[in-house]
Structure 1
Amino acid sequence: MARSDEAAAFFAAVYSAVQEIPYGKVTSYGHIAKLVGTPQRPRQVGLCLKHLSQDTDSHFNHDNVPWQRVINSKGIISPRSQPSGAQNQAATLQAEGVVVSTGSLGELMVDFSVYGWFPRTLPSETGQSEEGDED
């Protein structure tokens, strides 16, 4: 089923925002939703990332959108439908130098105070470098 123009625009906005997350940093689904102007839609951000194309010929794809840099608002890597999904995301983040720890319930966690990226606006919208103006 083809996406509506509105849905396609939302997917593109999410993917473009995620592309601005610096290497070695993470942010939350909710923060991406806020940055694209829909703070009430963090779950839809996750849905966009779930449906990110594996086809490297697609404009936005698994290789050029750093999906691994988006985690939940508690700093936890959200479980995936496949058992190894969270482990794969953790390994990809660790390859970027992000320390991933294991919580008391076995959850994979990232410390936002060290690795968090929470600019007020996207650097591309303010003309700032990737470091931007952070909260």
Structure 2
Amino acid sequence: MTQFTEEILVIIKGIPYGRVMSYGQIARLAGNTRGARQVVRILHSMSEKYNLPWHRIINSKGKISISDKRYAAIQRDLLISEGVEVSEDGYIDISIYGA
């Protein structure tokens, strides 16, 4: 596992309950300003193994970006259960709920 991957795992695990972060924000904090797609890949391949709070990660526009409608609905429900307000079309106000 690379140092970048390890950093991403630490950052994702540290996202507080009821807060969200963007893929790009996580990549920047881990030291790669252009690594948002790598964050997506790491989430996809490691969420279950490392019990990551994958649902707390959204795109830079403040929107749930999962294309699978079933998983997008799960993400929305999980965020709402943590007190995060999510619009019908999947937007979250990062200025309020950002970590």
Report deviation, 1:47: 1.2
Which of 116, 121, 131 aligns to 2:98? It is 116
- Pick the aligned partner of 2:41 from 43, 47, 52: 47
Which of 61, 70, 78 is the matching residue for 2:65? Answer: 78
User: Of 87, 93, 99, which aligns to 1:101?
Assistant: 87
| TM-fit CA distance, 1:78 | 0.5
Runs of 4+ off more than 3 Å: none
Deviation, 1:52, is 2.1
What TM-score do you get using the length of structure 2 for normalisation? Answer: 0.90
Q: Give 1 or 2: higher helix fraction.
A: 2
CA drift at 1:67: 1.1
Distance 2:98 2:4 in 1: 23
Aligned-residue identity in percent: 41
Report the CA distance between 1:17 and its aligned residue.
Answer: 0.6
Using the TM superposition, give the Cα deviation of residue 97 of structure 1 relative to its aligned residue in structure 2, in angstroms.
0.6
Q: Distance in 2 between matches of 1:22 and 1:39?
A: 22
Amino acid of the residue matched to residue 40 of structure 1? R
Cα deviation digits, residues 54-105 of structure 1 (max 9, x gap): 3xxx4x22xxx2111110000000023x331111101011110101002xxx
Structure 1 gaps, min length 5? 118-135
Letter in 2 for 1:89: Q
Question: TM-score scaled by structure 1?
Answer: 0.67
In structure 2, runs of 5+ residues without a counterpart are none
* Paired positions, count: 99
Equivalent of 1:31 in 25, 29, 43: 25
Q: Which structure's CA Rg is the greater one? A: 1
- State the superposition RMSD in angstroms: 1.5
Q: 1:53 to 1:31 in 2, by over 3 A?
A: closer
